C-alpha cells in the first residue's frame, strides 16, 4: 500500500534540497510523484520549495484537475503529466532552475560529452528543447522528441526537468547535471577541456549497459554514431536554436571500421573529380594518379587518410 504521507514528507525534503542548493529561488520549481494510475501528488503554486509541509501538497488527476489539497497545484503540472503519459516507468518528476545547467539553457549550448565518467554512466546526451511559454500544453509538448531517450531535459531559456523511479532519483539527475555544467565552465576558464578516447568512452558505455542503465548509444539505432559528438539529439538543434558556441566539438570518436568506411565512401564519390584533376596536371605525380583506375585510386587515398588519422 502506498504511504502518501511519507511520500509527501519526501517531497518536502527534496524541496528543501532544491532551495538550499539554489536550484529554486523564491517560489521557483515544482515536484510531483505518481501514486496511482490516476493520482499525482503535486507541490503548490506560489510557494517556496524550501519551506513545504506535507499538508501543502495537493493531488491531481492525469488531466491536471486538482482532486485534493488546500493550496492550488503548480501551474506547470502539464509538463509533468506529459512525462508520465510517455513514460509509464516514471514515478516522480522534478522541475527547477539550477544555475549552471540553466546557463546552458539560456546560451542554448549543447552539453559536451565524454568528459566525466559519472555523467556518461548516469546521464549521457542531454537534449535542449525549443522554447515555449511555460505552463500550457505547447510547453509540455516540447519534451516529446526527447523524453523516451533520456531522464533529464534542458528547457530552453527556462531550466531543467528530470524524472525517475522515485523523487530522490529524479532529483539526483538534476544535481549531477548542474555540478557537471559548473565543472565544464571552470575547466573552460582554465583553458582546456580534455575528452576521453573512443576506447575509454566505450568502456564506460559497456559498464553502463552492464549495470542496467539505458543509453541510446548502446542500441542498434545509434551503433555507428560518433559517441562523443551529441549525435543523439543533433537533429533537433536547428529548431531549438542550439549550436556549439562556447565549447568546441570533441575529436571524432566512431569505431575505426566506421571511419574507414566513411572515408572510403567519400573518396569513392570524389574519385572521378580527382582523376580528372590529375589528368589535367602537368606534374609527374598527377600523371601517375591519372593512370590509376578508380579502385586503385580509392585505396591509395583512403590509405593515406587513415594513416594521418592514426598518426
SS3 178: helix
Q: How many CB atoms lie within 10 A of CB 274?
A: 19
Contacts of 48 (CB under 8 A, 6+ apart): 19, 24, 26, 27
Cα–Cα distance, 45 to 77 (Å, whole number):
10
C-alpha cell at 296: 586503385
Q: pLDDT (tens digit, 9 = 90+) per residue, 161-208?
A: 999 999 999 999 999 999 999 999 999 999 999 999 999 999 999 999
Cα–Cα distance, 258 to 309 (Å, whole number):
13
- In this structure, of 27-31, 184-188, 264-268, the range with the lowest mean pLDDT score is 264-268
Q: Supply the pLDDT for residue 223.
A: 86
Is residue 307 scored above 60 in pLDDT?
Answer: no
Amino acid at each position: 500500500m502506498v504511504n502518501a504521507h511519507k511520500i509527501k514528507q519526501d517531497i518536502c525534503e527534496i524541496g528543501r534540497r532544491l532551495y538550499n542548493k539554489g536550484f529554486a529561488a523564491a517560489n521557483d520549481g515544482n515536484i510531483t510523484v505518481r501514486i496511482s494510475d490516476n493520482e499525482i501528488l503535486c507541490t503548490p503554486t506560489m510557494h517556496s520549495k524550501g519551506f513545504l509541509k506535507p499538508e501543502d501538497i495537493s493531488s491531481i488527476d492525469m488531466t491536471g484537475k486538482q482532486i485534493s489539497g488546500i493550496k492550488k497545484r503548480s501551474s506547470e503540472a502539464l509538463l509533468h503529466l506529459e512525462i508520465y503519459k510517455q513514460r509509464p516507468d516514471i514515478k516522480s518528476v522534478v522541475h527547477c532552475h539550477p544555475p549552471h545547467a540553466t546557463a546552458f539553457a539560456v546560451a542554448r549550448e549543447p552539453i559536451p560529452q565524454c568528459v566525466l565518467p559519472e555523467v556518461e554512466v548516469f546521464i549521457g546526451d542531454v537534449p535542449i528543447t525549443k522554447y515555449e511559454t511555460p505552463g500550457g500544453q505547447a510547453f509540455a509538448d516540447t519534451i516529446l522528441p526527447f523524453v523516451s531517450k533520456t531522464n533529464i531535459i534542458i528547457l530552453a531559456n527556462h531550466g531543467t526537468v528530470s524524472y525517475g523511479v522515485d523523487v530522490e532519483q529524479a532529483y539526483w539527475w538534476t544535481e549531477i547535471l548542474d555540478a557537471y555544467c559548473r565543472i565544464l565552465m571552470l575547466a573552460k576558464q582554465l583553458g582546456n577541456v580534455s575528452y576521453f578516447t573512443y576506447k575509454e568512452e566505450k568502456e564506460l558505455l559497456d559498464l553502463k549497459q552492464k549495470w542496467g542503465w539505458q543509453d541510446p548509444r548502446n542500441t542498434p539505432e545509434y551503433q555507428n554514431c560518433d559517441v562523443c559528438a551529441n549525435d543523439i539529439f543533433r537533429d533537433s538543434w536547428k529548431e531549438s536554436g542550439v549550436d556549439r558556441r562556447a565549447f568546441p566539438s570533441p575529436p571524432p570518436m566512431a569505431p575505426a571500421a566506421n571511419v574507414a568506411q566513411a572515408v572510403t565512401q567519400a573518396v569513392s564519390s570524389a574519385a572521378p573529380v580527382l582523376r580528372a584533376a590529375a589528368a589535367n596536371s602537368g606534374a609527374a605525380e598527377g600523371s601517375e594518379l591519372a593512370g590509376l583506375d578508380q579502385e586503385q585510386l580509392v585505396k591509395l587515398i583512403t590509405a593515406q587518410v587513415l594513416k594521418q588519422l592514426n598518426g
